[in-house]
Structure 1
Amino acid sequence: MNQTTQAAPDWQQAAFRVLKAGGVRQIAYVPDAGHSHVIRSAIADPDIEDVVLTTEEEGVALVSGAWLGGQRAVLLMQSSGVGNCVNMFSLLQAADFPFFTLVTMRGEYAEFNPWQGPMGKATQAALELMGIHVLRASKPEEVEEIVSAGFDAAFEAGEKVAVLLGQELIGRKKWERK
């Protein structure tokens, strides 16, 4: 096994910096390579509780409960997970909770897996249909400002915000048989 540690891309480091500086105390996630740096950083940070979910919809309830308990929390998920959350998003509207999620996109740039296509194409519309404001970052240099703007809209103005992190940020994925 290779023990070489590769530094996370700057955009992933920037995303975590925004969350940390904004006082996030809980990060809920289903494991995902696109969020790997934020997840590892949350695990290593004694001020942040990392919560592994079995399904993304649990995260909507968890971050809502964190808000009720006086803490800021963020939900990390892949675009395919948005489909799992649609019903639970009604909680955000009914209770008027602020909400912030970072969504790594699939089904877009150079996607090899046809199962990812339909939800990837419907992600933004599904979020908007449920009253969630959508921002998108597709270039590394955009990430910090867009994540920061979305974070502030959620936790300073009380909005429900999703930042879509374009698949071109993560790069091509390729499955190989060994």
Structure 2
Amino acid sequence: MEAVEHSWQKDVFDVLKQGGIRQIAFVPDAGHSYAISAARSDPDITDVVLTTEEEGVGVVAGAWLGGQRAALLMQSSGVGNCVNMFSLLDSCRFPFLTLVTMRGEYAEFNPWQGPMGRRTQGVLELMGINVHRAERPDEVGEIVGAALESTFLAGERNAVLLSQSLIGRKKWERN
């Protein structure tokens, strides 16, 4: 029997697909590249490319109003862009699911990523969003699945922080 590559990135997409996600909003990000590519290839999922992460909060809320489940994929640096829009989620009690690839942690080369990376969890919690964190590849699917169920079955607002160590070391390359 031939070995099949199984990765946490595939687990993310599989959980979203099986959980009935019909729209995925994102600002392009290497950490989410598998889910983005898979969503773009899936005729049952609408992929929405954003110019800024805060637009994704509106996309997710609008999808819910239109009878669909949606998820926002972003990097930790984008969380700061969303703070004002997060008030919409609380005021209107919209269910919300975001998956956040972390920066400013493990082997970070860019000092600009540090401040928001250190504050991402606290910012989300201050805005009333439950935070779950995945550190190991084998736990990603379970954690994303639990957050998805809490979002759409209990009407909660949830963020899953995907540790920078999952993605591995980023390297600065000069052209």
Map residues 61-140 of structure 1 onto 2, 5 A cutoff.
61-140=58-137
Q: Which residue of 2 aligns with 1:167?
A: 164
The root-mean-square deviation of aligned C-alpha atoms, in Å, is 1.1
Matched, 1:157 2:157: no
Aligned pair partner of 2:9 in 3, 8, 12: 12
Q: Which amino acid aligns with 1:23?
A: G
Question: How many residues are matched?
Answer: 172
C-alpha distance after superposition, 1:67-120 (max 9, x if no partner): 000000000000000000000000000000000000000000110000000000
Q: Is the 8 A contact 1:8 1:37 kept in 2?
A: no
Matched, 1:28 2:37: no
Distance in 2 (alpha carbons) for counterparts of 1:9 and 1:106:
24
Distance in 2 (alpha carbons) for counterparts of 1:105 and 1:8:
24
Q: Is the 8 A contact 1:136 1:165 kept in 2?
A: yes
Unaligned 5+ segments in structure 2 are none
C-alpha distance after superposition, 1:139-175 (max 9, x if no partner): 0001000000000000111000000000000000011
- The percentage of aligned residue pairs carrying the same residue is 72
User: In the TM superposition, what is the alpha-carbon distance from 1:8 to its structure 2 partner?
Assistant: 7.5
After the TM superposition, which parts of structure 1 deviate over 3 Å for at least 4 consecutive aligned residues? none
Aligned pair partner of 1:57 in 54, 58, 66: 54
Distance in 1 (alpha carbons) for counterparts of 2:141 and 2:157:
18
User: In the TM superposition, what is the alpha-carbon distance from 1:54 to its structure 2 partner?
Assistant: 0.2
TM-score (norm 2): 0.96
Distance in 2 (alpha carbons) for counterparts of 1:126 and 1:152:
22
Unaligned 5+ segments in structure 1 are 1-6
